[in-house]
Structure 1
Amino acid sequence: MVLKDRSEPEFTELSKSKTNQHIENIVLKFLHAENKCTKSI
């Protein structure tokens, strides 16, 4: 099996989408926590 070169568009697009999903998850968790805080006040 040949490892893909990291500079290949396929790889960068894949890692980009994964990173974006990860960031979205963090943001959603943060917003969810914020909502809980504002509701409890």
Structure 2
Amino acid sequence: MYLDLRTVNVEKTVHNVDKFVDNIKINRFLTWINLIRQ
């Protein structure tokens, strides 16, 4: 049971990191577009 909980937590952490990275990529992309449009 303890191991299962740890596995779940690791998966959640990895998922959150992926979302965080995606957000950074999206923000960079939007910033890049805004710079080009100026």
Instruction: Return the TM-score normalized by structure 1.
Output: 0.73
Task: State how far apart, in whole Å, the 1-side matches of 2:7 and 2:18 are.
Answer: 16
5+ residue gaps, structure 2: none
Give % identity.
Answer: 9
Q: Does 1:10 align with 2:20?
A: no
Calculate the aligned-residue CA RMSD, in Å: 1.6
Q: Does 1:30 align with 2:28?
A: yes
Instruction: Return the TM-score normalized by structure 2.
Output: 0.77
Q: How many residues align?
A: 35
